[in-house]
DNA sequence: GACTGTGAAAAGTTTCACAGCT
DNA sequence: AGCTGTGAAACTTTTCACAGTC
């Protein structure tokens, strides 16, 4: 659950409701943002829970319920103004701010991340990169000069870095995460296939393609709705 | 929910129970597999729900309940034999088989995927790569010769490919997914920031680092348990 | 007439607590 | 004594259904 603070009046100002918003709801909001962004790009000005639900493969009731935690953004009989709802949701998620991000580890994966063009348009600025290996320090990767790990604490503060992307080898992950937490980083995106332990108040999300594949193989062996008769390869 | 077929006797044979296993449970099993693998590597032979729960940051009761959907793998008073439980879980998930995987799109991202060494040790074999662009067709990437999209149907069948990893630009994703489904692929790992629509019986998982970051910024603005006073950069 | 926002009901998921085995 | 496996209870999340507004 996500406890929110402050005053109760949720008129049209997207002020913070004084109630608990389920974490599953927060996890869906970025998807709503993405779909609304696409609709806006297509020139759609008004939408409704039915249409949003189709795009997102979610029931219309769920969308209405989710939005109701934060305010009344729609007009009965009409639906939602796409631009308005998008602005509100971005504000709720803190996406009206820009966020400075550090990348830890500039191996193959860290390199790919630093060169990935998808973060900046969404307000996430990769502003620093760190590595253990003296060979990598001083190199420029994706326009950023790699710094030694010993610079981390100083740079996190001076550059106001609040988010870190960890792309170091598995065995190093926990100690890097510990260091980041110590430096005040409270949001970490972890690319290593490891369950890093963090204190309460710090969030970790993991990107793990193997886990994603492994949860699908179950259904390949016991298909709910068989499409054809293919079986495992081995 | 995951409907499972066949006979009820779940003695020690990991035969399929004739009941429904919640999807959340299936999603956790790969994590159990990973933790058990680590324990085995460290030479731990016996564990218990308490220890597993600590590693996975999950309650011991949840682990016992999850496992109980599939059989009785532990010994009262003793716990679980790590190697035995690992074998059972891998079998349940279909990870005792090898799976042939195709990669669609060999741009920057597809390249990184084909060169990522993490899939093979877990039984996922990248055996084919496809691309639209004639410049890329015929090139060797990560030891695989890139084929034209027109080869897809034939190769999926002849090489018994059941899983596809889609790494094409967003606008091309839906049509590639449609084509894969038509070819009989029922498990798709999608790297594009797009919600692909698929018919029932086909599973899609998405890897989307931006969505992961966006759900964390919410908590950075309304921290449940503040660690320090850092704010957004903008 | 068409849609939202929302209490209340239903469904799903987690946790409790303890009987029972080793 | 120490742990599992599991019904039952508690809690969470989704869906229903409809009053209210545009």
pLDDT in tens, B182-198: 999 999 999 999 999 99
Cβ neighbors of B183 (< 8 A, separation 6 or more) are: B152, B153, B156, B157
User: What is the number of residues in chain A?
Assistant: 234
Domain CATH code at residue A189: 3.40.50.720
Q: How do residues A128-155 score in pLDDT, each as one tens digit?
A: 999 999 999 999 999 999 999 999 999 9
A103 lies in the same domain as A124: yes
Pairing of strands A2-3, A187-190: unpaired
Supply the pLDDT for residue A20. 86
Answer yes or no: do B103 and B200 share one domain. Answer: yes
Pick from B2, B100, B199: which is nearest to A222 by CB?
Answer: B2
Q: Mean pLDDT score of chain B, rounded to an integer?
A: 90
Q: Could you tell me if B43 and B119 lie in one domain?
A: no
Same domain? For A81 and A110 the reply is no
pLDDT at B19: 66
A174 — pLDDT class (breaks 50, 70, 90): very high
Q: Is the CB of A2 less than 8 angstroms away from the CB of B218?
A: yes
**Token couple for B14:** 């990991």
pLDDT band at B102 (very low <50, low <70, confident <90, very high): very high
Tell if A52 CB is < 7 Å from nucleic strand D. Answer: no
CB contact under 8 A, A122 and B187: no
A202 and A129, same domain (yes or no):
yes
Out of B187, B207, B209, whose CB is closest to A220?
B187
Residue to test with chain A: of B100, B125, B220, most A Cβ within 10 A: B220
**Is nucleic acid strand D under 7 Å from A22's C-beta?**
yes
Q: Last residue of some domain: B70, B93, B116?
A: B93
The residue among A68, A93, A118 that closes a domain is A93
CA distance B202 to A218: 12
Q: Is residue A21 part of a domain?
A: yes
Q: B108 and B66 in one domain?
A: no
Is the shortest CB-to-strand distance from B9 to strand D under 7 Å?
no
* A123 is a domain residue: yes
Nucleotides of C under 7 A from a protein CB: 1-8, 12-17, 19-22
DSSP assignment of chain A: -EE--S----SSS-PPPSSEEPHHHHHHHHHHHHHHHHHHHTT--EE-HHHHHHHHTS-HHHHHHHHHTT---SBTTTBEEHHHHHHHHHHHHTTTS-EEEEEE--SHHHHHHHH-TTSGGGTEEEEEEEES-TTTTT-EETTEEEEEGGGHHHHHHHTTEEEEEE-S-HHHHHHHHHHHHHTT--EEEE-SSS-----TT-EEEE--HHHHHHHHHHHHHS-SS--S------
For the CA of A57 and the C1' of D14, the distance in angstroms is 14
Q: Give the pLDDT of residue B221.
A: 86
Residues of the domain holding A77: 7-93
Tell which wins on pLDDT, A133 or A14.
Answer: A133
Residue B223: inside a domain: no
pLDDT at B216: 97
> Domain total for chain B?
2
**Residue B216 falls inside a structural domain:** no
What number of other Cβ atoms are within 10 A of residue A44's Cβ?
13
Q: Is the CB of A145 under 7 A from strand C?
A: no
d(CA A33, CA A114): 24
Within this chain, do residues A28 and A62 fall inside the same structural domain, yes or no?
A: yes
> What's the mean pLDDT when you consider all of chain A?
90
Closest-lying nucleotide for B67 based on CA to C1': D5
| B141 and B162 within one domain | yes
CB atoms within 10 A of CB B11: 8
- Res B20: pLDDT: 86
Q: Note the pLDDT of residue A223.
A: 61
Pair (A183, A103) in one structural domain: yes
Indicate if the pLDDT at residue B227 is higher than 70.
no
Instruction: Decide if pLDDT at A5 tops 50.
Output: no
Backbone angles phi, psi at B64, to 5 degrees: -65, -40
Give the gap in angstroms from C-alpha B213 to the nearest C-alpha of chain A: 7
| pTM for this model (two decimals) | 0.91
Region for A117 from its dihedrals, namely left if φ exceeds 0, alpha if ψ lies in -120 to 50, beta otherwise? alpha
Residue closest to C14 C1′ by Cα = B62
Query: Residue B31 falls within a domain, yes or no?
Result: yes
**Residue at which a domain ends, from A93, A113, A130:** A93
Residues A52 and A37 in one domain: yes
Inter-chain CB pairs, A–B, below 8 Å? 269
| Residue A162 is assigned to a structural domain of this protein | yes
DSSP character at residue B169: -
Give me A80's structure tokens.
Answer: 């939602």
B228 in any annotated domain: no
Shortest Cα distance, chain A CAs vs residue B89, angstroms: 10
- The answer to whether the beta carbon of residue A11 comes closer than 7 angstroms to any atom of strand D is no
With a cut of 90, say whether residue B222 has pLDDT above it: no
Is it the case that residue B33 has pLDDT exceeding 50?
yes
**Same domain (yes/no): B13, B29:** yes
In this model, does residue A225 exceed pLDDT 50? no
> Do A103 and A21 share a structural domain?
no
**Site from A29, A94, A179 to mutate, B interface, most B CB atoms within 10 angstroms:** A94
DSSP state of B19: S
Residues of B in contact with A118 (CB under 8 A): 193, 209-210
Of all nucleotides in the shown strands, which has a C1' nearest the CA of B51?
Answer: D3
* CATH number (domain holding residue B22): 1.10.10.10
Mean pLDDT confidence for B78-97: 97
Residues of chain B neighbouring A98 (CB-CB closer than 8 A): 232-234
Report the residue of chain B nearest A219, measured CA to CA: B2
> What is the per-residue pLDDT for B7?
38
CB contact under 8 A, B218 and A98: no
For residue B226, pLDDT over 90 is answered with: no
Determine, yes or no, domain membership for B2. Answer: no
Q: pLDDT for A19-40, tens place per residue? A: 689 999 999 999 999 999 999 9
Using the predicted structure, report yes or no on whether residue A185 has a pLDDT greater than 60: yes
User: Residue B160 and residue A230: Cβ atoms within 8 Å?
Assistant: yes
Q: Quick one: A164 exposed, middle or buried, by C-beta within 10 A (0-12, 13-18, 19+)?
A: buried
Q: Which two tokens stand for residue A175?
A: 């100690």
**C-alpha triplet A226, A227, A228: angle, nearest 5°:** 100
């Amino acid at each position: 659950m996500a406890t929110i603070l402050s005053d109760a009046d949720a008129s049209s100002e997207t002020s913070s409701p004084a109630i608990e918003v389920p974490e599953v709801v927060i996890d869906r909001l970025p998807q709503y943002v993405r779909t609304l962004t696409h609709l806006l790009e297509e020139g759609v000005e008004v939408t409704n829970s039915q249409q949003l639900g189709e795009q997102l493969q979610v029931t219309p009731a769920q969308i209405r319920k989710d939005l109701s935690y934060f305010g009344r953004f729609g007009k009965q009989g009409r639906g939602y103004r796409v631009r308005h709802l998008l602005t509100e949701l971005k504000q709720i998620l803190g996406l009206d701010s820009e966020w400075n991000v550090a990348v830890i580890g500039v191996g193959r994966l860290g390199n790919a991340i630093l060169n990935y063009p998808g973060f900046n348009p969404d307000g996430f600025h990769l502003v620093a990169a760190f590595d253990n290996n003296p060979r990598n320090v001083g190199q420029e990767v994706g326009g950023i000069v790699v710094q030694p790990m010993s610079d981390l604490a100083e740079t996190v503060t001076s550059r106001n870095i609040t988010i870190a992307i960890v792309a170091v080898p598995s065995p190093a992950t926990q100690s890097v995460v510990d260091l980041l937490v110590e430096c005040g980083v409270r949001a970490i995106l972890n690319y290593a296939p490891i369950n890093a332990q963090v204190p309460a108040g710090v969030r970790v999300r993991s990107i793990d393609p193997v886990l994603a594949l492994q949860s699908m193989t179950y259904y390949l062996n016991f298909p709910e709705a068989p499409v054809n008769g293919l079986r495992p390869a081995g």
